[in-house]
Each structure stands twice: as C-alpha cells, then as structure tokens.
Amino acid sequence: MDYFLMIIGAIFVNNILLGQFLGNCPFLGVSKKMETAIGMALAVQFILVLAALIAWVVERYLLIPLELEYMRTLAFILVIAALVQLVEMFLKKSMPTLYQALGIFLPLITTNCAVLGAALLNIKKEHDFLESLVYSFAVAAGFGLALILFAGVREKFETAPVPRPLRGTALGLITAGFMSLTFFAFKGMI
Amino acid sequence: MSIAQEFTKGLWKEIPPFRLVLGLCPTLAVTTSVENAIGMGVSVIFVLACSNMLISLLRKVIPKEVRIAAYIVVIATFVVAVELLMKAFFFSLSESLGIFIPLIVVNCIILGRAEAFAGKNGVLASAADGVGIGTGFTLSLMSLGSLREIFGAGTFLGMSVFGPNFEPFAFMQQAPGAFVCLGLMLGVMNILGRPKVAKA
C-alpha cells in the first residue's frame, strides 16, 4: 500500500516536471514533435532509474563509510555522466536500432536535472534500495507522461492563430502552467 | 568586443532565461520570494564567474574529446563550495533553496557558457561574460520573484505591501502560477525586443 501511494504521489501529485520543476529544459526543448518526445521519455525512463540506483549504492557503500557526504553532488554528477557515456557506447555496439531511436537524446540527459534531482531526492527522503527503485521508476514515468501529453497539446498549436509575441516558448510555458493546474486536481487522491 | 560589452550583453541582449532559454528549473522553482531569488542568483553568479575563469585558463590543456566531462567536474567543484559556504553562513536560505543548490551543477546556463564562450576566449573576457550573464539571470529571477511575492503573498522581501486587508492571489505562489507568469513575461519581452518567431 505504501508503495502504491508512493507511485501515485510521484507520477501525479508531485509530478517531477509540473510539481517540482525538475527537467524543464528538455520538457520545453523536445516537446514540439511527438516522436522526439517519446524518444526522450524512454531514454529518461531508462537512465533515471539506473542512475538513481547506482547513486544510492555509491552513497551507502562509498560516501557514508568514508564520511565524504559533502562530496555527494560531485560524486553523483560523475556517476551520471559516466553512466550516460557507457550506455551510449553499449547501445551503439549491441543494439543499433535502439541506439538510433535514443541516440541523440542520451548526451542531453547528463544535464537533465530530473536525473540528478531524483538521485538526490532518494537520499533526502532516506529511501532504502527497494523504495529508491520504485520511487525512481515512478518519477521517470511521471516525466514521460507529462512530456508526451504536453507534446500532444503543442503539436496542435502549430496550426493555431497565436499572437506573434507569444509563439514558441512563451505559449509553451503558459500551456505547461495549465497542465500543472490539472495535475493539481490529483492532490485529492491522497 | 570589449570587456564592457561582454559584461553588458548579459543584461539585455542575451539575458537568461528570456533571450537564452536555459536554466528554467531554478527560475521556476525558487522564485516564490525575492529573498530566495537573490540567494539563487548570487550563487549562480559566483559559480558561473569562477567556472568560466578556470575553464578559460584550462582551455588549452583540456582535450577536445573529454571537454564536457572536464567542464562538469570544474562546475561541480564550485557548486560544492557554494553548498558548504551557504550551509555555514546562510543556513535558513540553504534550507529553503533545498536541492536546488546542488542542482546548479546541471543548470544549463553554466555549461552553456563554458561551451559557447569560456572554452574559446581569454580569462578576463570569460570572467566578464560570467558575471554579466549571472547578473542578468539574477535580475530575471528577481523580477519574477517580485511579481510572485507581491501578488501571491502580498509582501516584498517579507514587508507587507498592500496592508492587512489584501487577499493574496495564491495561484501565483504555486507551480501553475510560476509557469504562466514566466510565459507572460517572455511574451512581454518579445514585444519589447525584436519579436522572436518560432520555427514551424
């Protein structure tokens, strides 16, 4: 039951993009086309869970025993950068079709604050390993859901008569605001 | 371009996050009050100026293939310094900014300036660029922070603006208000400057 609440909470109530403002650069950057949005959502789903788990292990078995917790930021970003690089090389070699689909999104993920944010939130909320796994998975699913819904809305705007100064990012932000308002409705669920 | 021009371009021509649409997460998240906005802005100025200078000094040493990783290590080092300094001297501010302090590492403005400017230019010019862009970012955060604090809470830097009978417009303090407010400000900036037409 706790896990269920955690999943609902992370996907809907405290959605990482719309409720906690993490990962907004790719949110606005890659949401103009549905295909790229889906590619980004999948790449984030994959990397975020993996990165959060490795970060958790690094924190528990390296930083805490050595009393180096103040180096957490540096350690985590190195873990993420190295992981992204490794995954990119691995996919290129062994799964070229998947690499073609995710390829260009992978380097962008290093600086996606949702990834580092989820890793840090796991530590802050004192999750154990299984909780970290469930929480990161839900966070990434929330990211994907919001991104894909948003891309669907934005595709429609291509043909709409929008006042010139509001075109592009400005309208994107306002739309995101109203989507965030809709997600607020889920607050009643918990 | 002269040093002065490198500095002033960050204040209007390339002011983030309006002209350079980067670094949106901290912009949206910490602007619930002016105080938080200033705290975040000053941290970014410090990190950006220091990392720009160090990267510019090291630009001939860092091999091209691993430059992004090297930049991130430099930036992360300064961010850890800010994190520790803030915990030591501004504890309540560090509590209210929370995980957004460590997340300065992945603020794309800083990596963006390292890649676009500091990796190619001299130390003085890079420092001016860093301080300029950082100051522009702080000004943007402050203006958004002021709007959201004045209308969302009825205060400015904690002081009451409209007197006790004012009913705060709570929407502005919450997540949706942040998005809508920033979107409208971007629209106004587009009217004032040359209108930026989105590519179809």
pLDDT tens digits for B25-54? 888 888 888 999 999 999 999 999 999 999
- Mutation for A interface: B25, B47, B115, most A CBs within 10 A: B25
Yes or no: say if A128 and A18 are a contact pair by the CB < 8 Å rule: no
* H, E, C per residue of chain A: CHHHHHHHHHHHHCCCCCCCCCCHHHHHHCCCCHHHHHHHHHHHHHHHHHHHHHHHHHHHHHHCCCCCHHHHHHHHHHHHHHHHHHHHHHHHHHCHHHHHHHHHHHHHHCCCHHHHHHHHHHHHCCCCHHHHHHHHHHHHHHHHHHHHHHHHHHHHHCCCCCCHHHCCHHHHHHHHHHHHHHHHHHHHHC
* Cα dihedral A19, A24, A27, A30 in deg (nearest 10): 180
At A39-61, the pLDDT tens digits run 888 888 989 999 999 999 999 99
Predicted local confidence at residue B138, as pLDDT: 94
The interface pTM score, or ipTM, of the predicted complex is 0.83
Give contacts of B 59-78 with A, CB under 8 A. 68-69, 72-73, 76-77
A interface mutation test: which of B28, B72, B106, B196 has the most A CBs within 10 A?
B106
Residue of chain A with shortest Cα separation from B188: A165
Quick: pLDDT tens for A57-85: 999 999 999 988 888 889 999 999 889 88
Chain A residues in contact with B179 (beta carbon < 8 A): 173-174, 176-177, 180
A121 vs B13: which has the higher pLDDT: A121
Contact B69 A81 (CB under 8 A): yes
First to last CA, chain B: 33
With cut-offs at 50, 70 and 90, classify the pLDDT of residue B1: low
pLDDT at position B198, please? 43
Q: Which residues does chain B have within 8 Å of residue A31's beta carbon, measured at their own beta carbons?
A: none
Name the token pair of B105.
């590492």
> How much is the pLDDT for B194?
60
- Which pLDDT value is given to residue A136? 95
Asked if residue A52 lies in contact with residue A147, where contact means CB atoms within 8 angstroms, the answer is: no
pLDDT at A114 > cutoff 70: yes
B38 Cβ under 8 Å from any chain A Cβ:
no
Highest mean pLDDT among A5-9, A32-36, B55-59, B102-106: B55-59
**Selection from A158-162, B110-114, B190-194 with the highest mean pLDDT:** B110-114
